[in-house]
Structure 1
Amino acid sequence: MEGLAGGQHSQQLVLENRKKLKVTGVRHVGSFNESEIVLDTVLGVLLLQGENMYITHLNLEEGILEVEGLLHSLVYREAAAASRRGKNILGRIFK
């Protein structure tokens, strides 16, 4: 992947008719089921939500993931914000 200014990497999201998605820049698949897929990408954590989703192609060496199903949303979360949120939840549990 080609680098951008500031040490960031490029990433592409190609969505076809909300039914087929190709993502580049994927580092790791955190979790997945039919309604939610969590990806660690070069630009942050990417949350995919939808129905009847399944991974049709995954190549972590090349950083490519393809998903089919009905996609409802694609949301980036900052990794640091996600970990802070987890600490807040634990803090509430142990109060």
Structure 2
Amino acid sequence: MADAKKTPRHEIMMFNRKKLEISGVLNVESFDSEEFLLETECGFLCIKGQNLHMKNLSLETGQVSIEGYVFDLGYIDEQGGGSKGKGFLGKLFK
């Protein structure tokens, strides 16, 4: 029998730093007009910008669309794959 483990699928498409199409989103942790924090199949993704707003959201399919001016996006990784508690928040608020 083949390995039943699901391979994570996560893609990001950016159009002129003004629109993001993101797949593989598991949860929207927080968002405002300057920052989005998304839990994805490949880790936590932090998006920073100006006048950011969510255009579409479907957690059933894992699709999120964000519009606004994007300054930065990056992943916040957990070392060792442990719990997301103190380590994650410690890195986020460093």
Cα 1:83–1:7 change in 2 (3 A) is: farther
1:83 to 80, 83, 86: 86
Whole-angstrom CA distance in 2 between matches of 1:63 and 1:54: 17
Mapping 1:1-95, distance limit 5 Å: 7-79=6-78, 80=82, 83-84=86-87, 86=89
Q: Which ranges of structure 1 fall in alignment gaps of 5 or more residues?
A: 1-5, 89-95
Pick the structure with greater CA Rg: 1
Whole-angstrom CA distance in 2 between matches of 1:29 and 1:36: 11
Deviations 1:46-84 (A, max 9, x none): 000000000000000000000000001110011457732
The residue matched to 2:37 in structure 1 has which SS?
strand
Q: TM-score, normalised by structure 1?
A: 0.78
Q: Which ranges of structure 2 fall in alignment gaps of 5 or more residues?
A: none
The residue matched to 1:61 in structure 2 has which SS?
coil
CA RMSD of aligned residues (A): 2.2
Higher percent of residues as helix = 1
Whole-angstrom CA distance in 2 between matches of 1:87 and 1:68: 28
Question: Percent identity of the aligned residues?
Answer: 30
Q: Is the 8 A contact 1:38 1:47 kept in 2?
A: yes
